[in-house]
Chains A and B, each alone.
Chain A
Amino acid sequence: MNKNIDTKKIIISNPLKLDCGNEINNFPIAYETYGELNSEKSNAILVFHALTGDQYVSGKNPITNKDGWWSYVVGENKPIDTNKFFVICANVMGGCMGSYGPSSINESTGKQIGTDFPIITINDMVNAQYELIKYLEIEKLFAVVGGSMGGMQVLQFVANFPDKAKLAIPIACTSSHSAQNIAFNELGRQAIMADSKWENGFYSNYKLNPDKGLAVARMAAHITYLSEKGLQEKFGRKLQDRDSLRYGFEADFQIESYLRYQGSVFVDRFDANSYLYITRAMDYFDLSKQYKGNLSDAFKKTKTKFFVISFTSDWLYPTSENREIVIALNSIGADVGFVEIESDKGHDSFLLDVPSFLKTLGDYINSTYKIINERRI
């Protein structure tokens, strides 16, 4: 969380008008890149991260010392091969890995901004990241790719900048956050705000951290990323380091222990206010509403090729919602491919080792790169 991280960063000096009405300038966007940009600048892929992701897509994450969040997809000889592609990923605005967010320091007070930070949207995030692409002097990206909230950014990016990407791959996402999605996000936010150490968002002023609330938020959310079948197969009613029930509220079951662990490691790397702001941005996402109720209009100006992917066991961003994107694109004759990948791993499938997903994604990106280069578009 923002402390002493040696991140790549740009300061965006152009004023950015946010959806909430505020205008910001001179704000940082932290990013990481992998591979090398070729001389024609035609091999750049912008990856958007999901709710709790960051710019460390691949390799070792210097903060957590764990593998980057999309190591199955991005890296040398991976589906998005960094021997071939120049991969860029920025920490979203509102995040806590170096980009402008609620844990950024307000220079006039020397304190964290906390909940004085403006409400931001997916649109704001994407507009800020476009400044990074301009800074890197990339005229046209080969692809924009992302899962979950990253997929929402893909859709918003193409809507905002219809001629800036040749290929767009939104994965396991939606064009409009559903009541169920908002409900789960609200549960997480309420868990954080119910923690007495939250202090209306100014916990850092008191050297506090609402880690209990944030851990509960993460635990609840984590369940939504898995599938019933996956949970049952992995954990069932297996007991944690014991042969029989203890008749108490300790973690008797492996699933309890697992969730507690997920909660506890999360609070070490993530800022509670960032969780509030980013989930809010997701809830506000409704691309068709931005286009007066017609999702197709969001893509009317673009020639970008689309590939939409969903997963059978994803009940958070189900296939039906991904299909709506496909239908909107088809109804304007856009170039769109779609497949629902068979997987028991729930919404998290896009982050995990799901061979048919990794193969299809990698083959598709590589053959499309070849086809597009041959045509010299």
Chain B
Amino acid sequence: MKEEFNIISNLIEENTRVLDVGCGNGDLMKFLQENKTKDIRGLEISKEKVQNCLSKGLTVIEGNAESDLKQFPKSSFDYVILSQTLQAFLNPELVINELLKVGKKVIVTIPNFGYWKVRLQLLFKGTMPVTENLPHEWYNTPNLHMCTIKDFYNFCSNKNIKIYKSIALKKSRISEISKSNLNYKNLDSHLGIFLIES
């Protein structure tokens, strides 16, 4: 978690306007508020989590990214962050498009379904993978659209979405993803972090 926060924080310029979509209990918001910028908002679907954020004095709105991002004007945030939630949406493509409208830049992090530990489970055990990063069973997972680092990379190039920076994370090891090492990073990383722009 900490590594992911650091990477995201390093992608963000100081004193910019940030929206954290699916901000949960506000841990990332709090981290960025202390390290990067005071001007940060959150959007979260769970009432309980929204209340936790508000209790900390964080500016969070209860709402659903699939329907409520529309209310923000175009390019009203310098950065919009979507941390490990893309796979939980009914329509991830629509959400990415909305994020790209609202934010000048978008940071998306995805739990990598191409990670070798995930692949091995399906290959050898023949069951849906359950890992540290993907702790749910197939019957109770909120994740509807799992993807791999390579899937998201290809998605961006197919949809003409500019990738400014793509970073792979394995435990606490950070490395850059490029076209040439894509297959390797897709196998060897548990998390992908992308800074994109429409």
Residues of A within 8 A of B (CB): 305, 307, 326-327, 330-333, 335-342, 356, 359-360, 363-364, 367-368, 370-371, 375
User: Could you say which of A330, A331, A342 has the most chain B C-beta atoms within 10 Å of its C-beta?
Assistant: A330
Contact B51 A359 (CB under 8 A): yes
List B contacts of A368 (CB < 8 A). 57
Chain B interface size range: 20 to 34
Asked if A359 meets B55 with Cβ closer than 8 Å, knowing A330-B61, A333-B76, the reply is yes
Question: CA separation between A337 and B38, bound complex, in Å?
Answer: 15
Q: Per-residue 0/1 for B51-62: is the Cβ within 8 Å of any A Cβ (1 yes, 0 no)?
A: 101111111111
7 A-B pairs, CB-CB below 8 angstroms?
A: A326-B71, A330-B61, A335-B59, A336-B61, A363-B54, A363-B57, A367-B55
Sample of 18 more A-B contacts, CB < 8 Å, known A333-B72, A364-B55: A327-B71, A330-B61, A333-B73, A335-B59, A336-B61, A337-B54, A338-B61, A338-B63, A339-B47, A339-B60, A341-B47, A342-B47, A360-B51, A363-B55, A363-B56, A364-B57, A367-B57, A370-B57
With A336-B61, A364-B57, A371-B57 in contact, is A330–B72 under 8 Å at CB? Answer: yes
Q: How far is the CB of A119 from chain B (nearest CB, A)?
A: 35
Q: A332: nearest residue on chain B (CB-CB)?
A: B73
* Interface status of B96 (Cβ within 8 A of chain A): no
- Asked if B196 is at the interface of the complex by the 8 Å CB criterion, the answer is no
Minimum-distance CB pairs A-B, first 4: A367-B57, A363-B55, A327-B71, A338-B61
Taking a contact as CB atoms closer than 8 A, the residue among B38, B50, B61 that contacts A326 in the complex is: B61
Query: Which residues from 36 to 94 on chain B have a C-beta closer than 8 Å to any C-beta of chain A?
Result: 38, 41, 47, 50-51, 53-63, 71-73, 76
Return the contact of B59 from the options A336, A341, A342, A359 (Cβ within 8 A).
Answer: A336
Quick one: closest B residue to A370, CB to CB? B57
Chain B's nearest CB lies how many Å from the CB of A307?
A: 7
Bound Cα distance from A331 to B74, whole angstroms: 9
Report A-chain residues with C-beta under 8 Å of the C-beta of B73. 331-333
Partner of A340, one of B41, B47, B58: B47
Q: Enumerate chain A residues within 8 angstroms of B55, measured Cβ to Cβ.
A: 359-360, 363-364, 367
Contacts of A339 in B (CB 8 A): 47, 50-51, 54, 60, 62
Give Cα distance in the complex from A364 to B38, angstroms.
16
Q: How long is the Cα–Cα vector from A338 to B44 in the complex, in angstroms? A: 10
Q: Which residue of B lies closest to A365 (CB)?
A: B57
Contact check, A360 vs B71: say whether CB atoms are below 8 A apart: no
Which residues of chain B come closer than 8 Å to A330, judged between CB atoms?
61, 71-72
**Cα–Cα, bound, A356→B51 (Å):** 8
Interchain CB contact under 8 A, B54 and A360: yes
Give the complex CA separation of A367 and B52 in angstroms. Answer: 12
How far in angstroms is the closest Cβ of chain B from A261? 34
Measured in the bound complex, the distance between the Cα atoms of B57 and A364 in whole Å is 5
User: Chain A contacts of B60 at CB under 8 A?
Assistant: 337-339
Give Cα A289 to B60, complex, Å: 28
Contacts of A375 in B (CB 8 A): 38
